[in-house]
A and B are shown apart, each in its own frame.
Chain A
Amino acid sequence: MELVCINCPRGCHLNVEKINNEIVVSGNSCLRGKTYAVNELTNPLRVLTTTVGIESEYEERLPVISSAPLPKDRVMDVSKALKEVRVSAPVKMKDVIVENILGLGIDIIASKTINR
């Protein structure tokens, strides 16, 4: 089976084979490629980036990012849940905006500082 690694812009073409119940990966240029391929077959994960509303003097949206990749089939649910979220400035980059989103053990964090 062939996969395109999504970890970085290089986009390595990975060859994934199951040999004796073990997943063997080739074509990767770093360890992240291997981890990605194994996850993709067992538990695919995706980082979510979106925005939440913010009360601020000059901004309307605060860009946010998941602190770690989420299960791929829960990305849409998390995106929907974040539509209701509104915060107020000041917010610092890396501040936790929602802790343990939908009980997944992953936080949603600010990816920009908005001072006022």
Chain B
Amino acid sequence: MINRELVIIGGGAAGIAAALGAYENGIKDILVIEREYEYGGILQQCIHNGFGLHTFNEELSGPSYAEKYYSLIKDNECIEFMYNSAVTEINDKCVTVQSPEGVKKINAKAIILATGSRERPAGAIGLKGDRPVGIYTAGTAQKYLNRRGFLVGKRVFILGSGDIGLIMARRMTLEGAKVIGVAELQPYSNGLARNIKQCLEDFDIPLYLSHTVKAVHGKNRLESITLVEADEKLRIIEGTEQEIECDCLLLSIGLIPENTLIEEMGVVLDPKTKGAVVDDTYITSIEGIFACGNALHVHDLVDFVSAEAKRAGKAAADYILGNKKEGTCVKNVLGNGVSYMVPQSFHKGNEVEFCFRVNRVFKDCSIHVYGNGLDKKIRKMGIVPSEMQKVVLKKEEIEELDGELFWEVI
């Protein structure tokens, strides 16, 4: 049995920042367990630039962002990375690890989950038809191309307008593939406006809003798909079918926090975020178990993942050193238009950053937050579900709150 102060599961953007946050707040015995042979997680295959504007005030590629952030803890004797190692179980505060040296059991005073997210696969949307070769999640295609140099198709259709799909539309076009189009079931895009511009419009790739793929065809290799229109209730409109020839279908239909490990422990998950329910110290419903980054809720920007994970690292340090925040928590109550809120509850006595998403498109609206001693409206030009919103409430603003804080978009 090995004893460590803090164990962090996952050595991607969140894990690295959590380690830094814990170290800077007094923890000198940190183990980061990473299943790959290197740090950085998904950043290593995101070779496009646009990362780091908030953190480093410059635009970096994914691998560069990872390298630059890692350099802040490199050669730090208090932070050890254990590579090629997968955590198979957490039992109380003991983690079981499959490592190149065999199975190990490691006891920790606190554990931070920084396991990232996974892509929703074809099964998640009940895609009709056979399963010929040629249907991949956008991230899988990205890994093949950017890490291995394999182009997974020559005539490509993309379902879902998530950013990874848009990035792959450009990437595969530059590598010589023909990207025929992108279909999005919603009447609005789920990707960033800049990616619609630089990844689709730059290459004259059409974006079919209110469209989806009804069926896939092909026995061994994908041969075609059926594209169909959808109405405002997202139901297929019969009679609008069109066949599109393609040998590859990429799915960019959303990410789900990876929480298998803590789900088995009985940690309470939020049905909306699919991540753990946490307070403002990122502690889950089980003592000493923390969660951050995309494992907690799916972020738009890695910069926000790093910032959140650093705070989680500090919170875990405070917990280990006995400086845990005491007192009852104020609960967030979600009203009109608010899809989810992280953290779900919080302590008074410090400023708190709230992250949330709306459940539909709002134009010319206000974020209304109110409770005992607080009634605040924040004007917004427009809010879309694909953009995470952040509101910081100061210590003085939340001082008089009693049990609940109400949120709505009006």
Contact call B196/A51, Cβ cutoff below 8 A: no
Which residues of chain B come closer than 8 Å to A79, judged between CB atoms? 174-175
Bound-complex Cα distance A49 to B351 (A): 39
Q: If the complex has contacts A4-B194, A6-B194, are A65 and B67 also in contact, measured as CB distance less than 8 A? A: no
Q: Which of B60, B171, B197 makes the CB contact (< 8 A) with A111? A: B60
Bound-complex Cα distance A93 to B252 (A): 30
Which residues of chain A come closer than 8 Å to B125, judged between CB atoms? none
Question: Does A41 interact with chain B (Cβ within 8 Å)?
Answer: no
Q: Which 4 A-B pairs have the closest CB atoms?
A: A11-B193, A112-B63, A63-B47, A111-B61
Further contacts, 10 of them, CB under 8 A, given A4-B196, A49-B61: A3-B197, A7-B194, A8-B194, A9-B50, A47-B49, A59-B147, A60-B149, A63-B47, A79-B175, A112-B64
Bound-complex Cα distance A9 to B62 (A): 14
Q: If the complex has contacts A4-B197, A11-B192, are A61 and B148 also in contact, measured as CB distance less than 8 A? A: yes
Which residues of chain B come closer than 8 Å to A58, judged between CB atoms? 37
Which residues of chain B come closer than 8 Å to A76, judged between CB atoms? 174
Q: If the complex has contacts A5-B194, A11-B193, A111-B47, are A61 and B63 also in contact, measured as CB distance less than 8 A? A: no
A22-62 vs B: 1/0 string, CB under 8 Å?
A: 00000000000000000000000011111101000011110
A9-20 vs B: 1/0 string, CB under 8 Å?
A: 101010000000
Which residues of chain A come closer than 8 Å to B63, judged between CB atoms? 63, 93, 111-112
Q: How far is the CB of B351 from chain A (nearest CB, A)?
A: 23
Contact call B147/A46, Cβ cutoff below 8 A: no
Which residues of chain B come closer than 8 Å to A50, judged between CB atoms? 47, 171, 174-175
Question: Does B410 interact with chain A (Cβ within 8 Å)?
Answer: no
Contact call A60/B196, Cβ cutoff below 8 A: no
Question: Does A75 interact with chain B (Cβ within 8 Å)?
Answer: yes
Contact call B175/A6, Cβ cutoff below 8 A: no
Question: Does B404 interact with chain A (Cβ within 8 Å)?
Answer: no
**How big is the A interface, by class?**
20 to 34
Q: If the complex has contacts A6-B197, A63-B47, A79-B174, are A53 and B149 also in contact, measured as CB distance less than 8 A? A: yes
Contact call A60/B175, Cβ cutoff below 8 A: no
Bound-complex Cα distance A5 to B39 (A): 32
Offer 10 A-B interface pairs, CB within 8 angstroms, sorted by A.
A5-B194, A9-B194, A49-B61, A63-B47, A63-B61, A76-B174, A93-B64, A93-B67, A111-B49, A113-B67
Q: How far is the CB of B307 from chain A (nearest CB, A)?
A: 14
A75-89 vs B: 1/0 string, CB under 8 Å?
A: 110010000000000
Q: How far is the CB of A58 from chain B (nearest CB, A)?
A: 7
Interface residues of A (CB under 8 A from B): 3-9, 11, 13, 46-51, 53, 58-61, 63, 65, 72, 75-76, 79, 93, 111-113
Residue in A13, A47, A48, A49 whose Cβ sees the most chain B Cβ within 10 Å: A49
Contact call A65/B49, Cβ cutoff below 8 A: yes
Which residues of chain B come closer than 8 Å to A4, judged between CB atoms? 193-194, 196-197
Which residues of chain B come closer than 8 Å to A49, judged between CB atoms? 47-49, 61
Q: How far is the CB of A69 from chain B (nearest CB, A)?
A: 10
Which residues of chain B come closer than 8 Å to A61, judged between CB atoms? 146-149
Q: How far is the CB of A35 from chain B (nearest CB, A)?
A: 14
Which residues of chain A come closer than 8 Å to B175, judged between CB atoms? 50, 79
Contact call A72/B202, Cβ cutoff below 8 A: yes
Bound-complex Cα distance A72 to B48 (A): 16
Contact call B149/A9, Cβ cutoff below 8 A: no
Closest to B60 in A: A111
Contact call B47/A51, Cβ cutoff below 8 A: yes
Contact call A112/B67, Cβ cutoff below 8 A: yes
B21-59 vs A: 1/0 string, CB under 8 Å?
A: 000000000000000010000001001111001000001
Contact call A8/B53, Cβ cutoff below 8 A: yes
Closest to B40 in A: A112
Question: Does B198 interact with chain A (Cβ within 8 Å)?
Answer: yes
Q: If the complex has contacts A8-B50, A47-B49, A49-B48, are A60 and B147 also in contact, measured as CB distance less than 8 A? A: yes
B155-177 vs A: 1/0 string, CB under 8 Å?
A: 00000000000000001001100
Which residues of chain A come closer than 8 Å to B393, judged between CB atoms? none
Q: How far is the CB of B266 from chain A (nearest CB, A)?
A: 36
Bound-complex Cα distance A76 to B44 (A): 23
Bound-complex Cα distance A4 to B63 (A): 26
Contact call A46/B202, Cβ cutoff below 8 A: yes
